[in-house]
Amino acid sequence: MDHPHTPEPDHDHTPEGIRARLEAAAQGESASYLRDFVYGSVDGAVTTFAVVAGVAGAGLSPVIVLILGAANLIADGFSMAVGCYLGARADQQHRDRIHRMEKRHIQDFPEAEREEIRQIFARKGFEGEELERAVEIITADVGRWIDEMLREEHGLALSGPVPWKAGLATLVAFVVVGAAPLLPFAIDVIPNVTIPSTFACSAVLGGIAFFFIGVAKARFVEHSIWRSGLETLAIGGIAAVLAYIVGVALGGLA
């Protein structure tokens, strides 16, 4: 007789494992930088290959392609990293401001804040003695009290990505992945080294980069690997085609 299959857990469900996971989440150690890495990778590959396609479409030399592509890689990568850092930093500062405000309200208007906790837990289904006991437990610890207000009243996470780590993840992804379409042009400018079709090689490397960005994302979010890879490849391809058309149209101005 066949026995029912017992699914493998995605993570440790022992009391110790659960406790460690919740503590890490509370301290912000479980913050994911996948979004920053994927965003940086996609933008790096798309914008760099768009520059390559546009300049190649204009019929300019490989040296010009390399110079403009490298300039875009460094400047745009740094700009994206700074923007990501400032965004994460702004979220952190907003969370800190709300934390200070709720702490001040608890000191100045304790009964009103206690009533907010009472209504929050009433909406969760607590009532009677259980409701009053929940309010008593939460408001007995100011830190826990403030955390509950942050989550329930303001809809804020208790922690988020570390700003400098988010910025670094974006920068590294942008530069590393965005460099792929430039490699054939970098090799082509080496004396006595010739690549038959630098643009074709660049397109292949760019396409591979696009596809594997989607594959990497799919492995984390449990989507179809092929669908995610082809989706990212299509997005990058559309951007490259548009840039190439612009380059051809404006090539006579160069």
pLDDT of residue 106: 92
pLDDT of residue 22: 54
pLDDT of residue 30: 45
pLDDT at 11 over 60: no
Taking the C-alpha atoms of residue 229 and residue 225, their distance in angstroms, rounded to an integer, is 6
Query: What one-character DSSP code corresponds to residue 14?
Result: S
**Residue holding tokens 């479409």?**
57
Taking the C-alpha atoms of residue 163 and residue 92, their distance in angstroms, rounded to an integer, is 8
Taking the C-alpha atoms of residue 161 and residue 85, their distance in angstroms, rounded to an integer, is 10
Taking the C-alpha atoms of residue 143 and residue 169, their distance in angstroms, rounded to an integer, is 31
Task: Report whether 240 contacts 47 (CB < 8 A).
Answer: no
Per-residue pLDDT tens digits for 168-226? 989 998 998 888 888 888 887 777 777 777 888 888 888 888 888 888 777 766 778 88
Closest CA to 209 of 58, 81, 96, 49: 49
Which pTM was predicted?
Answer: 0.72
